[in-house]
Amino acid sequence: MTRPCVEPGPRYAKGHCCGDGFLLLLDPDDRIRLSDGAVRALCDPHSGLGGDALLRLVRTRRGRLPGRPRGDWFADVRNPDGSHALTCGPGLGLVARYLTAAGLAPPGEILLATRGGDARTTAGADGLTTVELPPARVLGPSEVTLDGHAFTGTAVSLDSLHLVCPTELPVSALDLTREPRLDLADFPATSGVLVPDVALSFVNVLPTGRLRVRVHRPRVGELPSRGTAVCAAAAVVQHTTGRRGPMVVESASGPLSVTVGRNKPTLLTGASSIASEGVLDARWLASL
């Protein structure tokens, strides 16, 4: 039986970094244009390939890219709803892992360009990847209500907005299937702009000093892990307790190490790996 010829499309890779799963799309010549709907379909685990975000990889010498990138590769980050994101620390960590494994970048530290600026990443031979995120800026107090219970928290910016709520209640007992209610009118603004998409983190400080974190994203629900939210949680605990040095956060994918410095980049270290690689069907991609 003769099989129909399937037109090859761009290469892709899937994997995880620091507990978050990502879809990478290799587009060295900056030829692929993805609608919001196409991104949603690709990130959907049932109709597409699945991913917490999609990162399109473009060689900086070939694409018409924002800013003046210094690195060789630009990562165009798209949220699973199709919207653009300035950057994504764990996603960049997976990009570094992929580029070094594929021989597209030398081992060691890699400078990657994003809409939010250049970021340094290091994919180590031990399977751990360190990603550089923006400095954590503590904005002020706010409050969220979950299942009739009010949680007091602290707002943090890492180019994305977070509300971190330390609590004595075991975070494992919280019902995050319910949509929390956040009054954005009382939420501290950053740079005069109020961004409604605030990630919520509920945090236990364990007797060992480690943190246990559960993360909820509006309209998405609970996330197994979220690198920037974990960093925001560490920043708030450091801010409120005066602790210094790396903090270890428990996650489903293993321990994550977070280093928060005053007016310095936030460093997130965790496991990363490529799970699969392949080639998309160009006709299916075009149909999106």
Residue 1, in any domain of the structure: no
- With bands split at pLDDT 50, 70 and 90, how would you rate the model's confidence at 62? low
Total structural domains within the chain: 2
- Say how far apart CA 235 and CA 155 lie, in whole Å: 10
**Which residues have CB under 8 Å from 176's CB, separation 6+?**
146, 214, 216, 221, 222
187-246 per-position pLDDT tens digit: 776 544 445 578 899 999 999 999 999 988 877 778 766 788 899 999 999 998 888 889
CATH number at residue 216: 3.10.310.10
249 and 281: one domain? no
Average pLDDT over residues 57-69: 71
89 and 188: one domain? no
166-185 per-position pLDDT tens digit: 999 999 999 988 888 877 66
Taking CA atoms, 28 is separated from 55, 116, 117, in Å, by 12, 20, 19
108 and 208: one domain? no
Range of the domain at 116: 8-126+273-287
Cross-strand partners of 140 = 155
